[in-house]
Amino acid sequence: MRPVNKGDAPDIRFKKYQEAEPYLEKRIGLYCSFCELPLQHVPEVEHKEAKSRGGEELDWNNFLLSCKYCNTRKGYTVKKGDLGQYLWPDTDDTFHAFDYEGDLPRVNVEYLSQKADGSYQKAANLLRLIKLDNRPTKQERDRRFFERNEVKEIALMSKNGWQSMETPSDRDTYLKTIIVLAKAKGFFSVWMTVFKDIEVVKRGLLDSFPGTRKEYF
């Protein structure tokens, strides 16, 4: 899960929370803040603390962008005062909190077990909150699983292509192709996992996804 920096609140008084969308888009890109699905249609301004349960409706600090799948699953669970029970991509190192090696994201037990700040339980709570590890049935409308794993196959093929490039010039050109694909298909953490041993590609990804918290990498 990509950690992001939204920056300070814009110098504007929002009349409706939907007015925050273009500012979020510019600062962190049109990707779901949780599953990293590209938001190709109508992005949803997500309230971390549900506005129906006391969360601030117009507070910049309470905003993220979400796909309809994560937003629906999150629902109204998080009430005012509950933020500390979860990790959040705009305040925490959510990239290392989860493992994307398999076909479903998992809590990164090896990494989080070294921490004594409750991060493991907070990561597990977030995974459960948005059902990031959901494997949908045929009747269930949840594209996250299928699109994530399609992107993983594309990333693996891209890595093979990268490794077949024989000259630095060829690799420079191919890197541009990788970046274009990654930005179009989303799922930043999948690309970073597949290319975890290729520093120049990782740096290219970090530079290309707006608002990514580079200090965690």
> Is the pLDDT assigned to residue 93 strictly greater than 90?
yes
Residues in the chain: 217
Question: How far is 28 from 6, CA to CA, in rounded Å?
Answer: 6
Q: Measuring CA to CA, which residue among 195, 114, 118 is closest to residue 154?
A: 195
Write down the pLDDT at residue 116.
84
Write down the pLDDT at residue 115.
87
Write down the pLDDT at residue 41.
78
Q: Measuring CA to CA, which residue among 124, 120, 122 is closest to residue 111?
A: 120
Q: Is the distance from CB of 216 to CB of 3 less than 8 angstroms?
A: yes
> Is the pLDDT assigned to residue 42 strictly greater than 80?
no
Write down the pLDDT at residue 182.
98
Q: What is the pTM of this model?
A: 0.95
Question: How far is 23 from 44, CA to CA, in rounded Å?
Answer: 13
Mean pLDDT for all residues in the chain: 96
Q: What is the mean pLDDT of residues 152-179?
A: 96
- The residue that leads in pLDDT, 58 or 42, is 58
- Ordered DSSP codes for 72-120: HHHTT---TT-GGGS--TTTS-HHHHEE-SSSS-EE-HHHHTT-SSSHH
- Domain segments of the chain as ranges: 144-216
Enter the DSSP assignment of 9.
P
pLDDT, tens digit, 9 for 90 and up, residues 56-79: 999 999 999 999 999 999 999 999
Q: What percent of the chain has pLDDT over 90?
A: 93
Write down the pLDDT at residue 178.
98
> Is the pLDDT assigned to residue 186 strictly greater than 90?
yes
CA neighbours closer than 13 Å in the CB half-sphere of residue 150: 10
> Is the pLDDT assigned to residue 201 strictly greater than 90?
yes
What confidence category does residue 53 fall into, taking pLDDT thresholds of 50, 70 and 90?
A: very high
Write down the pLDDT at residue 138.
82
Write down the pLDDT at residue 140.
83
Write down the pLDDT at residue 143.
92
- The residue that leads in pLDDT, 30 or 139, is 30
